[in-house]
């Protein structure tokens, strides 16, 4: 089964902002232009601003990625040979031998898994006790028997009375006097009188071998007595052998299966199969439809997910279990974090205002034309991350690239900025949880674990209305997520400053860094608009100095 092993996920950080989302989409497009099977991914739902940008420039949300570990649907596995439960044992055996498979999957007409047939099931029939074979043949329809021995079914009664026992008649001086044939399947040669005698003794099914036809008298008597008649396509020996393989596999297949969903993680599946010893395990989708067969070989040779990280390079901000993935590349504009790789990779970390700036530069460097909708997407992300090029993180490179992208997308930057920053600027129509996670990032400094959220807002006066409920929600959020500190920054682009709310047991860190919030007053802090360049360095300095 050919799977998408070579898919590469281009993914931004948790609680994604516009830069994270747009950079993922744009870089995945660039990688596809260069021949890589790349798709954009996200680690959470998008905010209103990102949704506006995607809608304006005609993009769908990136796929949601909740774990970096490989899932079963991403690895190589065997294509199943699917048969119905009415397939005969003989047909199943032929499928196995001609296709070199030791396992068949049994499914219904909707392709839903019912069971499996293995060589062990077949061996049990071929080498098992004859009582088992008798019970199977007892339940087998006459037409299945005829089909298996390549016979011609001349007559079958409405109700079959087979008891599963088989007799092969060898005519002797005593004729049939010593045979008990009642309700049996009887194999007899080209002897009309013997055939009539078999029917007379209440046989349930007459199988005639080595004969081109059966006389009308025999057929007439068979109908009178309710005895099925089959003209076999084989000789005596093969007829006797094959008819015991005419039962449908539903009577011999395994039903209590160890199955896996295609979305299960390879590492977890590997742990589970250690406890069992099957050759292969069926993999199904959420509706129980068969997807493939996986074995220990497939799990041992499974590749890790291929991932490119954009707009972050820290474990705490990345997808779950990121260190178990194959990280191919990192493109970021933040501080160097703690992600480690098993081999050298391309790591581009550049001092600019947004990751989207770097992506735009890479299009130019690799001489790939930027489509107008990609240019608009990148420009919107750059404006968002640099607060319309007013943030301290903004560089001359950002401004130059911004002008170029605006020309490609045919956008008036001033009009675009007003539209962009008016999207969702009011905090009154959002829940505390939405505000907290709107654009939040996690940091760990000297064993202090904290998160810092930022919301751009036009009307700072709205904060007074939600202040009490928001701080209560922030305290609960700290407890729920086991944080030492939670800081929310409400930034005014027009006024070039921010108001801060703080929660958590280590509030002293923020109070030491910004004494004006010590008494819980909503003090506007001028010129503080950047997490990366202004707030995090200042908090880090307080923590490192241990001031309290």
pLDDT, residue 4, reads 44
Looking at the structure, tell me whether residues 482 and 520 fall in a common domain. yes
Q: How far apart are CA 145 and CA 243, in angstroms?
A: 6
pTM (whole model) above 0.85: no
pLDDT, residue 492, reads 87
Determine contact, residues 506/450, Cβ cutoff 8 Å.
yes
pLDDT, residue 515, reads 86
Looking at the structure, tell me whether residues 273 and 292 fall in a common domain. yes
Spell out a b/e string for 1-11, using b for 16 or more CB atoms within 10 Å of the CB, else e: eebeeeebbbb
Q: Is residue 242 part of a domain?
A: no
Looking at the structure, tell me whether residues 500 and 517 fall in a common domain. yes
Q: Is residue 389 part of a domain?
A: yes
- For 226, the domain range is 154-232
Spell out a b/e string for 238-251, using b for 16 or more CB atoms within 10 Å of the CB, else e: ebbebbbbbbbbbe
Q: How far apart are CA 182 and CA 193, in angstroms?
A: 17
The domain spanning residue 27 has which CATH number?
Answer: 3.90.1640.10
Q: Is residue 270 part of a domain?
A: yes
Q: How far apart are CA 537 and CA 497, in angstroms?
A: 17
Parallel, antiparallel or unpaired: strands 38-42 and 497-503:
unpaired
Spell out a b/e string for 420-435, using b for 16 or more CB atoms within 10 Å of the CB, else e: bbebbbebeebebeeb
Q: How far apart are CA 330 and CA 13, in angstroms?
A: 12
Looking at the structure, tell me whether residues 446 and 529 fall in a common domain. yes
Parallel, antiparallel or unpaired: strands 326-332 and 306-310:
parallel
Q: Which of 422, 453, 480 is the last residue of a domain?
A: 422
Q: Which residues pair with 448 in a beta bridge?
A: 445
Q: How far apart are CA 127 and CA 129, in angstroms?
A: 7
The domain spanning residue 182 has which CATH number?
Answer: 3.40.1390.20
Looking at the structure, tell me whether residues 377 and 440 fall in a common domain. no
Looking at the structure, tell me whether residues 317 and 370 fall in a common domain. yes
Looking at the structure, tell me whether residues 116 and 215 fall in a common domain. no
Token pair 């055996």 in the structure block, residue: 93
Token pair 């048969």 in the structure block, residue: 83
Which residues, including other chains, have CB under 8 Å from residue 395's CB and lie 6 or more apart?
351, 352, 353, 357
Q: How many domains does the chain have?
A: 4
Q: How far apart are CA 24 and CA 41, in angstroms?
A: 7
Q: Which of 300, 328, 359 is the last residue of a domain?
A: 300
Q: Is residue 328 part of a domain?
A: yes
Looking at the structure, tell me whether residues 454 and 523 fall in a common domain. yes
The domain spanning residue 84 has which CATH number?
Answer: 3.10.580.10
Looking at the structure, tell me whether residues 282 and 326 fall in a common domain. no
Q: Is residue 132 part of a domain?
A: no
- Please, what are the averages of pLDDT over each run of 10 residues along the chain (548 residues)? 68 95 98 97 93 97 95 92 95 92 93 93 81 92 96 95 90 65 95 94 96 96 97 94 93 93 94 84 96 93 93 94 95 92 94 97 97 98 93 94 98 93 78 91 91 88 90 96 95 87 94 80 82 92 78
Q: Is residue 41 part of a domain?
A: yes
DSSP helix/strand/coil, 346: strand
pLDDT, residue 161, reads 93
Looking at the structure, tell me whether residues 409 and 447 fall in a common domain. no
Question: What is the rounded radius of gyration, in angstroms, for the C-alpha atoms of the chain?
Answer: 37
Q: Is residue 149 part of a domain?
A: no
Looking at the structure, tell me whether residues 219 and 267 fall in a common domain. no
Let me know the angle formed at the C-alpha of 135 by 133 and 138, rounded to the nearest 5 degrees: 105
The domain spanning residue 479 has which CATH number?
Answer: 3.10.310.20
Burial of 283 (0-12, 13-18, 19+ CB in 10 A): buried
Q: Is residue 138 part of a domain?
A: no
pLDDT, residue 1, reads 42
């Amino acid at each position: 089964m050919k799977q998408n092993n070579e898919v590469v996920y281009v993914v931004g950080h948790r609680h994604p902002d516009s830069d994270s989302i747009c950079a993922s989409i744009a870089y995945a497009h660039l990688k596809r232009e260069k021949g890589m099977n790349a798709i954009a991914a996200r680690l959470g739902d998008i905010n209103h601003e990102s949704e506006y940008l995607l809608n304006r420039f005609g993009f769908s949300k990136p796929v949601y990625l909740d774990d970096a570990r490989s899932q079963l649907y991403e690895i190589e596995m065997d294509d199943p040979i699917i048969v119905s439960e009415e397939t005969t044992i003989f047909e199943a055996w032929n499928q196995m031998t001609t296709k070199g498979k030791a396992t068949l999957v049994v499914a219904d007409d909707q392709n839903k898994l019912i069971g499996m047939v293995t060589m062990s099931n077949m061996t049990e029939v071929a080498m098992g006790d004859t009582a088992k074979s008798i019970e199977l043949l007892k339940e087998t329809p006459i037409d299945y028997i005829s089909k298996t021995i390549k016979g011609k079914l001349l007559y079958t009664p409405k109700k079959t009375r087979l008891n599963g026992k088989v007799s092969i008649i060898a005519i002797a001086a005593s004729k049939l006097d010593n045979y008990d044939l009642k309700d049996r399947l009887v194999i007899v040669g080209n002897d009309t009188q013997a055939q009539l005698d078999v029917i007379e003794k209440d046989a349930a099914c007459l199988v005639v071998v080595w004969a081109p036809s059966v006389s009308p008298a025999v057929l007439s008597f068979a109908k009178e007595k309710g005895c099925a008649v089959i003209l076999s396509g084989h000789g005596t020996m093969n007829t006797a052998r094959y008819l015991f393989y005419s039962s449908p596999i539903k009577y011999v297949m395994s039903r209590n299966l160890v199955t896996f969903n295609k979305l299960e993680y390879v590492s977890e599946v590997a742990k589970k199969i250690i406890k069992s010893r099957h050759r292969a395990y069926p993999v199904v989708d959420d509706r129980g439809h068969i997807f493939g067969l996986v074995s220990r070989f497939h799990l041992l040779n499974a590749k890790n997910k291929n991932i490119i990280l954009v707009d972050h390079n820290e474990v705490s901000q990345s997808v779950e279990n990121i260190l178990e993935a194959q990280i191919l590349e990192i493109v970021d504009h933040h501080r160097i974090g703690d992600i480690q790789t098993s081999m050298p990779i391309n790591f581009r970390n550049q001092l600019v205002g947004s990751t989207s700036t770097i992506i735009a530069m890479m299009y130019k460097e690799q001489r790939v034309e930027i489509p107008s909708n990609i240019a608009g997407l990148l420009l919107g992300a750059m404006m968002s991350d640099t607060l319309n090029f007013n943030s301290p993180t903004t560089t001359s490179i950002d401004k130059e690239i911004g002008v170029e992208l605006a020309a490609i997308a045919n956008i008036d930057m001033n009009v675009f900025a007003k539209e962009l920053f008016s999207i969702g600027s009011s905090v009154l129509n959002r829940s505390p949880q939405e505000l907290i996670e709107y654009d939040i990032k996690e940091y760990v400094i000297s064993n202090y674990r904290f998160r810092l959220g930022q919301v751009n807002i036009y009307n700072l006066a709205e904060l007074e209305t939600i202040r009490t409920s928001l701080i209560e929600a922030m305290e609960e959020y700290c407890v729920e997520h086991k944080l030492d500190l939670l800081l929310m920054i409400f930034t005014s682009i027009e006024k070039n400053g921010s108001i801060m709310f703080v929660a958590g047991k280590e509030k002293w860190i923020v109070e030491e860094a910004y004494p004006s919030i010590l008494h819980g007053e909503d003090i506007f802090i001028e010129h503080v608009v950047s997490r990366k360049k202004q707030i995090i360095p200042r908090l880090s300095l307080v923590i490192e100095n241990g001031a309290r």
